[in-house]
Amino acid sequence: MIRQSPLYPAIRASVLARDVTALHRLLRERGAPDFAIALSSCSPRVAADILSLLSMPDRLRVLPHLPTGVRRHVQPLYRTRTPRADAAPSPLQSRYSA
Protein backbone atom coordinates (compact mmCIF):
# COMPACT_ATOMS: atom_id res chain seq x y z
CA MET A 1 0.00 0.00 0.00
CA ILE A 2 1.27 3.46 -0.90
CA ARG A 3 1.64 5.76 2.06
CA GLN A 4 -0.42 8.88 1.56
CA SER A 5 1.37 12.22 1.45
CA PRO A 6 0.34 14.77 4.09
CA LEU A 7 -0.26 17.18 1.19
CA TYR A 8 -2.77 14.84 -0.48
CA PRO A 9 -5.85 15.86 1.60
CA ALA A 10 -5.27 19.55 0.80
CA ILE A 11 -4.89 18.80 -2.92
CA ARG A 12 -7.98 16.59 -2.86
CA ALA A 13 -10.05 19.31 -1.15
CA SER A 14 -8.85 21.88 -3.71
CA VAL A 15 -9.78 19.60 -6.60
CA LEU A 16 -13.21 18.81 -5.18
CA ALA A 17 -13.84 22.54 -4.85
CA ARG A 18 -12.24 23.14 -8.29
CA ASP A 19 -10.15 25.79 -6.51
CA VAL A 20 -7.30 26.29 -8.99
CA THR A 21 -5.89 29.17 -6.94
CA ALA A 22 -5.44 26.85 -3.96
CA LEU A 23 -3.71 24.25 -6.16
CA HIS A 24 -1.28 26.90 -7.43
CA ARG A 25 -0.65 28.04 -3.87
CA LEU A 26 0.03 24.47 -2.67
CA LEU A 27 2.45 23.90 -5.53
CA ARG A 28 4.24 27.19 -4.86
CA GLU A 29 4.44 26.69 -1.09
CA ARG A 30 5.33 23.00 -0.98
CA GLY A 31 7.32 22.70 -4.21
CA ALA A 32 7.10 20.40 -7.21
CA PRO A 33 8.72 17.33 -5.53
CA ASP A 34 6.20 17.27 -2.64
CA PHE A 35 3.32 18.01 -5.02
CA ALA A 36 4.39 15.08 -7.23
CA ILE A 37 4.64 12.76 -4.21
CA ALA A 38 1.07 13.71 -3.28
CA LEU A 39 -0.09 13.04 -6.85
CA SER A 40 1.51 9.60 -6.76
CA SER A 41 -1.07 8.73 -4.05
CA CYS A 42 -3.78 9.20 -6.69
CA SER A 43 -4.72 7.00 -9.59
CA PRO A 44 -3.07 8.11 -12.86
CA ARG A 45 -6.45 9.34 -14.10
CA VAL A 46 -6.99 11.54 -11.02
CA ALA A 47 -3.40 12.80 -11.24
CA ALA A 48 -4.04 13.76 -14.87
CA ASP A 49 -7.20 15.60 -13.85
CA ILE A 50 -5.32 17.53 -11.17
CA LEU A 51 -2.48 18.42 -13.52
CA SER A 52 -4.96 19.59 -16.16
CA LEU A 53 -6.04 22.32 -13.75
CA LEU A 54 -2.50 23.74 -13.64
CA SER A 55 -0.85 25.96 -16.21
CA MET A 56 1.62 24.38 -18.63
CA PRO A 57 4.69 25.86 -16.83
CA ASP A 58 3.44 24.41 -13.54
CA ARG A 59 2.82 21.03 -15.14
CA LEU A 60 6.33 21.07 -16.54
CA ARG A 61 7.71 21.75 -13.04
CA VAL A 62 5.88 18.73 -11.61
CA LEU A 63 6.47 16.23 -14.46
CA PRO A 64 10.11 15.27 -13.71
CA HIS A 65 9.20 14.44 -10.11
CA LEU A 66 6.34 12.05 -10.91
CA PRO A 67 6.87 8.29 -10.69
CA THR A 68 7.40 6.69 -14.10
CA GLY A 69 3.99 4.99 -14.27
CA VAL A 70 2.09 8.19 -13.51
CA ARG A 71 4.36 10.24 -15.78
CA ARG A 72 3.72 7.88 -18.69
CA HIS A 73 -0.04 8.20 -18.19
CA VAL A 74 -0.10 12.00 -18.00
CA GLN A 75 2.48 12.61 -20.74
CA PRO A 76 -0.18 13.66 -23.31
CA LEU A 77 -0.92 16.71 -21.13
CA TYR A 78 2.54 18.02 -21.88
CA ARG A 79 2.43 17.82 -25.64
CA THR A 80 1.73 21.05 -27.44
CA ARG A 81 -0.15 20.91 -30.67
CA THR A 82 1.67 22.74 -33.39
CA PRO A 83 0.24 22.60 -36.89
CA ARG A 84 2.49 21.10 -39.52
CA ALA A 85 3.61 23.53 -42.20
CA ASP A 86 2.34 21.24 -44.98
CA ALA A 87 -1.01 20.44 -43.33
CA ALA A 88 -4.14 21.47 -45.17
CA PRO A 89 -6.34 23.98 -43.35
CA SER A 90 -9.40 22.58 -41.65
CA PRO A 91 -12.75 23.19 -43.39
CA LEU A 92 -13.68 25.73 -40.70
CA GLN A 93 -10.44 27.63 -41.18
CA SER A 94 -11.05 27.77 -44.92
CA ARG A 95 -14.64 28.92 -44.49
CA TYR A 96 -13.95 31.70 -41.97
CA SER A 97 -10.50 32.94 -42.99
CA ALA A 98 -11.70 35.15 -45.83
Q: What letter does residue 66 receive in the DSSP assignment?
A: S
Give the pLDDT band of residue 1 (cuts 50, 70, 90): very low
CA distance 88 to 79: 21
H helices present in the chain, as ranges = 8-16, 20-30, 32-39, 44-52, 56-62, 68-74, 91-96
DSSP letters for 31-56: -HHHHHHHHTTS-HHHHHHHHHTS-H
Q: What is the pLDDT of residues 34-74, one digit of tens each?
A: 999 999 888 888 888 899 899 989 999 999 999 888 888 88
